[in-house]
Amino acid sequence: MPCASRNRCSDSGNSTAISCPFAITVCCVSLIPLDDILLLNSVQVNYHSLASRCLAGRLAEMSLRSIVAPLLKWFAENARDLPWRRTRDPYAIWVSEIMLQQTQVKTVIPYWERWIKKLPDITALADAKEETVFKLWEGLGYYSRVRNMQKAARLIRDLHKGRFPSGSQDILELPGVGRYTCGAVCSIAYNQPEPIVDGNVIRVISRVAGIDEPIKSKPVMDRVWSYANDLVKHAIARQKPGQRNASAFNQSMMELGAMVCTPRNPICSECPLKGRCEARKKNKIDYIPTLVKRAAVMKRRYIGFIIIWNGKVFVQRRLSGGVNAGFWEFPNWQVDANVDPADFAKGNLSLNQVHLELLIVINHSITRYRNRLEMFILRVSRKPCLGRLHGEWVPMAKIDKLPLTGAHRKATKYLQD
């Protein structure tokens, strides 16, 4: 029952413009672009007859099935054995999802295992000392995440009697929880058909659907969320009541993006959706998703001083409200490229003479900033007043017990008394 593509369907004087895929017969449904098929699920259309409505429904269902079924099969055969996949505890899953933000899986695994061993539930996290929590997180970066986690744990303890909420609205009210994390906990822990959209899912959907518009624009992201929602709802609807698994489908999307549909050099030959991938058909794999041009990179130079006196080292705690608040570090400053470290130390540490030993140069990136930290050892025979600096003298043997910011922790590994 063909009809003209990009046609206008009307009934009772009402008309709605739609992208119509009916120029293709049912037997060729796998060739219909995902963009067109999923549009049928989000646009209310009055068709000429019951027959055409039934056909539209069959086409949409068959197209969704051609994505959902092979993806679930592929995931069942290829899913990685990750420790947080062996549990349905919402707390443990929530911890993993927060840790995985901006961080690779291989890095997160030992952190997650140490965390769960030390803080196995909401109450343990809520009642823990701040320094204990920071120490467990040390090295993961983006430290506002861990502060929000403890705030959320205390809120759950006080408002939900220590039980992680199951409703999406309650979860969204937790500090540091957005739409993605909420969807992850709801679907993976509680098997609710809530969509998940992270970088991996964005890549899979944009390539399969052939979306070559700037992916981070709000209209495009709204479409991606809508597609993800349609897919997970369909995955649930097509399974038997006892086998409905939103968790498996959402994880299959993320797994495919992480292992096969990668940002560079995707393994298209192993992709279960290669026959449906519009980007592959149009030879645009390397150009989709389309990213907005990044802001120019800025280089910043820092100099830091590990001041050693009488077997102790001077450390400062970062103020609350700022970046890395609550973590400890050695005195350091952002300086211009032409600043001499020895002259700077004399002027800012109230010292008449200094002898500096370059310990290590650490290069690290934060968003668009490329930071260079030059860390020096400064040994003094008398306890210095250190000008306006406020901090503590800590025995060298105890420095490992403090939660230090990542770059400064790295410096201590090269430090010898």
Q: Which residues are catalytic?
A: 97
Q: Is 223 left (phi over 0), alpha (psi -120 to 50) or beta?
A: alpha
Q: In terms of C-beta distances under 8 Å and separation of at least 24 residues, what long-range contacts does 364-372 make, across chains too?
A: 364/406, 364/407, 368/294, 368/295, 368/296, 368/297, 368/298, 369/297, 369/298, 369/299, 369/300, 370/297, 370/298, 370/299, 370/300, 371/299, 371/300, 371/301, 371/302, 371/407, 372/299, 372/300, 372/301, 372/302
∠ CA 73-39-169, nearest 5°, is 75
Provide the terminal-to-terminal Cα distance of the chain, rounded to the nearest Å: 83
Q: What is the rounded CA–CA span in Å between residue 357 and residue 308?
A: 12
DSSP state, residue 299: E
∠ CA 129-133-134, nearest 5°, is 115
Q: What is the rounded CA–CA span in Å between residue 184 and residue 15?
A: 39
Q: What is the rounded CA–CA span in Å between residue 349 and residue 355?
A: 13
Q: How far is CA 404 from CA 94, 167, 265, 331, 371, in A?
A: 24, 36, 37, 12, 17
Token pair for 388: 């306006």
| Nearest CA-CA partner of 136 in 326, 392, 349, 417 | 326
HSE value, Cβ hemisphere, 13 Å, CA-based, for 359: 26
Structure-token match 């230090």, residue found: 404
Query: Are the CB atoms for 95 and 115 separated by under 8 Å?
Result: yes
Q: What is the rounded CA–CA span in Å between residue 85 and residue 332?
A: 41
Helix/strand/coil (H, E, C) string of 262-298?
A: CCCCCCHHHCCCCCCCHHHHCCCHHHCCECCCCCCCE
Structure-token match 């709000």, residue found: 218
Structure-token match 């120029």, residue found: 23
